[in-house]
Chains A and B, each alone.
Chain A
Amino acid sequence: MARSGKITRILLKKDLLFALYSLGYYGVLFVSFFASSFILKSFLDGIREEDILVTAFPLNTYLSIIIIIISLYLVLVSAISISREKEQGTLETLSYGPVTPRSFLLAKFFKDFFIGIISLGFTAIYFYLVSSLTNIGFTPGLIKALVMGVFLVSCVVSFGLFISSFTGRVRSSIISLIAILGAFLVIQFTYNSLLGIEKEALSVPLFYIRQTLHYVFQGINWISPFAFISRGLDSVVLENWPLFFTNIVYCIVYSVIFIALSIGIMNRKGVKA
C-alpha cells in the first residue's frame, strides 16, 4: 500500500511538473481570463452614470465563465491522458515495473486535480486584481464559489479519466468526449424544445419521446460534470449552506465512483492500445 502510494507520488510529480512547464496551460488561463475581462469590460461600460447594480455576487458570473473554460481544458487533458500513454506504449512499459492501474490512475487524477486547484489559485489572484482595479466587490460569495470550484474540478477530471480509460487511442478519446458532451447538449436542447409544446398538442410518438427524454435528462444530470458545475455554482448563489455541503458530498461521491469505474475498466482492458 505504502509502495503504491510512493509510486503514485513519483508519477504525480513527474506529470505535474511536465504540465506546469507547458505554455499551453498558461495559454488556457490567459484565454479564460481574457474572455472574462472582455465581458466584464462591456458590462462595466454598460453601467452608465446614475445607474446602479445591486447584487451579492457581482463577479460570480465571470467566475462561472472561467470555471467552464478551465473545465473544458481539464476534461480534454484528462480524456487523453491514459489513451496517450497507451498509444505511445509508455503504459505497457510501466506495467512491467511496480506500477499498477490504480497507482497510475490516481497519479493522473491528482495531477489534473492539482492543475485545477492551481488554476483556481490563479483565478483568485485575477479577481483580486479586478476588484482592486474596478472596486467591484470581492465578496464572500466569490470565495465560496472558488471553494466549490475545487470539488467541481474533481468531477470534471474523474469524468475525463473515465472516458480515457475505455478508449485506446487519443483520437478515439477526443471523438468520444465530443460525442458524449454533444449528445448531452442535444438531448437538453431537444427536451427543452419539446417542453415548450402543450402536452395535448403532442402526437403520441412525440409525447413518449418527451417522456423518455425527461428520464434521460434526469440521468444526464447525474452523469454530466457540467450539470454538477451548474448545480454547484447555483448552490453558492442560493446562499443555502446545507445545499452547498450536499453538493460537495455529491461531487466527492461522483469522483470516487468514476475513478473506481476507470480503475475497473483499466484492469479489464489491459495496458495495450
Chain B
Amino acid sequence: MKKTLLGILSLLFVVFSFSVWASAEPPVMHEQLVYSLTSFNGASFSKSFCPANEETIYFIADQENVISPRKTIVYYWPITRKYMAGFSTLNEEMAGKFEVLQGGKVISTLAKQTYTLYYPKGYWSEKASVYINDSAREYFQKYKAAVDQFNTRLKQYYESMTQYRENFNRFLEEVKKRREAGDNNPLNAPVPKEPQPPEFVEFYATELTEGFIIKLPVGEFEIRLRADDGTIIEGSERKVVVFASRRQGGTGYEIIPGNRWTKKENCDDPSWVIHAVGKNELYFNPYRQDEYNELYHNKLEDPQNVGSIERWKWIHIDPIDNIKVLLTHQQAILQAVDKEPYFVKQIQGAELGYEIIKYDDDLKQKGYKPTFESYKVILDENLPKTDYAISTVQAENAQPVPQSERTLRLLKKDKSLYLYAIPIFPLIVGVFMLLSRKSRMEK
C-alpha cells in the first residue's frame, strides 16, 4: 500500500514538474475568426471579443448590440489565462451574411449596418446609446460639427490670448513709465481682461463603423456567417444566450471613501453592512439598479470572464437625483445632506496625495471643473461606536426611496487587543469539566 501511495505521489510530482516546464514556452500565435462585440451591459456598452475557444456569446434581451466577425491573430496569455487579440497586426473584416438560428431554423439574416456609439456626457461617462444608419450619420455629423466649431473657437482663443498678452505687457509698461515719472495717482487705464478658453464638446460619438446589429428576445440561439458562395464560414458558428434582469428598480450606493477617491466601494444590497472606524468622510452616490445573473453578465462584458451561475449582481443603471441622503440613529436624523460638487486637489510637496474640497466660485473662476458630485456624510470620531443607518428620501416630500436603507456600524478598534483573550474561554470550560469530573470521582 505504501509503495502504491509513493508511486502515485511520484507520478504527480513528475506531472507537476512538466507543467511548470511547459508554462515557460513563448506564446503560440494563431490566425482565427473572432467576433468583435459591442454589447449593451445594462447601462452602457462593453467592448470585447469572442475567440474561437469560447462557444457562447451573451446578450441582454431586447437591446441592440453590435457584432462584427473579423480575422485576427490570437495568442494565449497565461498570466490572465485569457486569449488576446492582435488587432493592430491583423484586423480583416469578414464578408458574408449573418444568420441567426433558433432550434436549427434560420430566423433572421442580417446585413451589415453603419453605427455609432453616442456618449451624451462624453467618452468617459457611464451612459451611451447606439445609433444606426441615418441616425448614426446624423449624430456623428453633429459631433464632427461641434468639434469643428470648438477648433474654430480654440483658434480664436489663441489669437485673443496673443492679443491679451500684448495688451497686458503694454499696460505694465504704462504703469512702469508713470511710476518712474513720479506719478502716484490712480491709474485710470482699464486692466486687460484675460480671455476664457472655450468649453470642449461635452458629448462624444465614435467613428462610423459597420457591423451586424443584433437584437433578440430572451432565449437560446445560434449564429453563423454565410459566405457569398453560400457556404458556412468555418469557425463562425457560436451559441447565443439572451437573458434579462431578475429584479429591477433597486437602490444601490457607490461610496467614495475620503482617503481613496479612486477606489470606490459599492453597497448594492440592503443586507450589506458598511463598517467604518469613525472619523470618516464618505461620499454617497445612490443609483437605480437592476439585478443580473453574474455568470451571464460577466460573460457579456467579456466572453472569457468567469462567474458563478448561482450568484446575482446588481448593475447601476442611472443616478437617482432630487433626493437627500440621511444618516440616522434610532429614528433620529443626525445628518440630511444634499448633492454638492467636489474637487480633488493634489497636495503639493513631498507629502504626496490629495484632498477633496468643496467646489466653489474661486475654483470656477480659475477654470476648474468639479471632479465629482456627491452626498457627503461626515462620521465624527466622537460618535458613539454603535449602529447607524444610511437612507435616501425624496427631496420634495421626504418619502423614503425603496430599498435604500443600509446599516452603518462603527467599529470599536481600540478594544481589538481583547480578541486574544476570547479564545481562552473553551480552555476555562475544559478545566472546569476536568475538575468537576475529578471531584465526582473522589466522591
Which residues of A come within 8 Å of B, CB atoms?
Answer: 20-21, 23, 25-27, 29-30, 33-34, 36-38, 40-41, 44-45, 47-56, 58, 122, 125-126, 129-130, 133-137, 139-141, 175-176, 179, 182-183, 186-187, 189-190, 193-203, 206, 209, 213, 235, 238-240, 243
Contact = CB atoms under 8 A, between A and B. Distances in A.
B295 to A, nearest CB: 12
Contacts of A196: 19, 23, 78, 81
B427 A26 contact: yes
A133 B277 contact: no
Interface of B: 1-2, 5, 8-9, 12-13, 15-16, 18-20, 22-23, 25, 27-28, 30, 53, 76, 78, 81, 255, 257-260, 265-267, 269, 271-282, 308, 310-311, 381, 385-387, 407, 409-413, 415-420, 422-427, 429-431, 433-434, 437
A21 B433 contact: yes
The 9 A-B pairs at the shortest CB distance, nearest first, are namely A26-B430, A33-B423, A198-B76, A29-B426, A50-B259, A37-B419, A53-B275, A34-B423, A193-B19
Contact of A33 (B280, B426, B430): B426
A56 B416 contact: no
A175 to B, nearest CB: 8
B426 A122 contact: yes
Given A54-B266, A134-B419, A26 B5 contact: no
B412 A133 contact: yes
Contacts of B20: 193
Contact of B422 (A130, A182, A238): A130
21 contacts: A26-B429, A30-B426, A41-B419, A44-B413, A44-B419, A45-B413, A48-B259, A50-B277, A50-B281, A52-B275, A126-B425, A130-B422, A135-B411, A136-B275, A137-B275, A179-B9, A182-B9, A186-B13, A186-B16, A187-B12, A193-B19
B310 A240 contact: yes
Given A52-B276, A133-B416, A135-B385, 16 more contacts: A21-B433, A23-B427, A29-B423, A34-B420, A37-B423, A44-B411, A53-B275, A54-B275, A129-B425, A133-B422, A136-B411, A183-B5, A193-B19, A196-B23, A201-B76, A206-B18
Contacts of B420: 34, 37-38, 41
Contacts of B308: 238
Contacts of A48: 259, 277
Among A37, A126, A189, residue most surrounded by chain B Cβ atoms (within 10 Å) = A37
B258 A50 contact: yes
A12 B23 CA distance: 53
Contacts, number: 204
Given A51-B277, A133-B412, A238-B310, A200 B426 contact: no
